[in-house]
Amino acid sequence: MSVVGAQPFIKPMQSPPSVSPGIQRRHTLPASEVRPLNTQDAISVFEIEREAFISVSGECPLHLDEVRHFLTLCPELSMGWFEEGRLVAFIIGSLWDQDRLTTEALTLHKPCGSTVHIHVLAVHRTFRQQGKGPILMWRYLQYLRCLPNVRRAVLMCEDFLIPFYRKSGFKVLGRCAITVANLTFTEMWYPISGHAYMRRNSEAIRFPQHPLTVPLTKTDERVDV
């Protein structure tokens, strides 16, 4: 998948100032940062997901092997929020090439697709009720605007989550054809067009070949979606 369109997000790295080893160790991890996930994050991802979903619906959107599967095939469509090196929230997506989701969309990544299927958004229990879910979704959708072949994002959710995703700009498509055990879902979509909103003096995300991670700013913390 081409990521040339993400280049406006890239900011050259500056050499860190020379400091003593003791001081440098204390500043190794930024207080808050966003970066793409990789397979080494899979266990942390699954632990957060399992706790978030099993207690509510009894089912996980992605099992551990499926998390590893998507983080291998399309890590550039994932996003993790880290606090001092600890994963506190994440999104995992893949590409899809049809108008509506089918059962195949749960496990397949279609590199030529123009739709991003958002499989899961989850927040660690310790960090809930702090607005991290909406903020991370906002940043993710802004990032998708930089991918030239992406035209929309879709997801499926239980009905009680519809108001949450509506606040992020998603619209209801209708009942989803996919069922899991006794669970039924509503399919929602978000149009991806134009260029990412860039604020002066703000830093954004570098994806995917460039592993630089970028701290969240106080402006991001105030995003109201």
119, 143, 168, 190: the active-site residue? 119
Q: Assess contact for 188 and 141: CB atoms under 8 A.
A: no
- Spatial contact of 81 and 36, defined as CB atoms under 8 Å apart: no
Q: Report H helices in the chain.
A: 21-26, 42-54, 64-73, 132-144, 162-167, 218-221
Q: Which of 94, 144, 190, 216 is catalytic?
A: 94
Is 94 in the active site? yes
- Annotated catalytic residue 216: no
CA gap 180, 158 in Å, rounded: 11
Cβ proximity of 213 and 41 under 8 Å: no
- The active-site residue, picked from 37, 136, 147, 165, is 165
Catalytic residue, candidates 106, 108, 161, 173: 108
Give me the catalytic one of 37, 62, 71, 121.
121
Distance CA 34, CA 29 (A): 12
Q: Does residue 108 carry a catalytic annotation?
A: yes
Q: Looking at the annotation, which residues are catalytic? A: 94, 108, 119, 121, 165
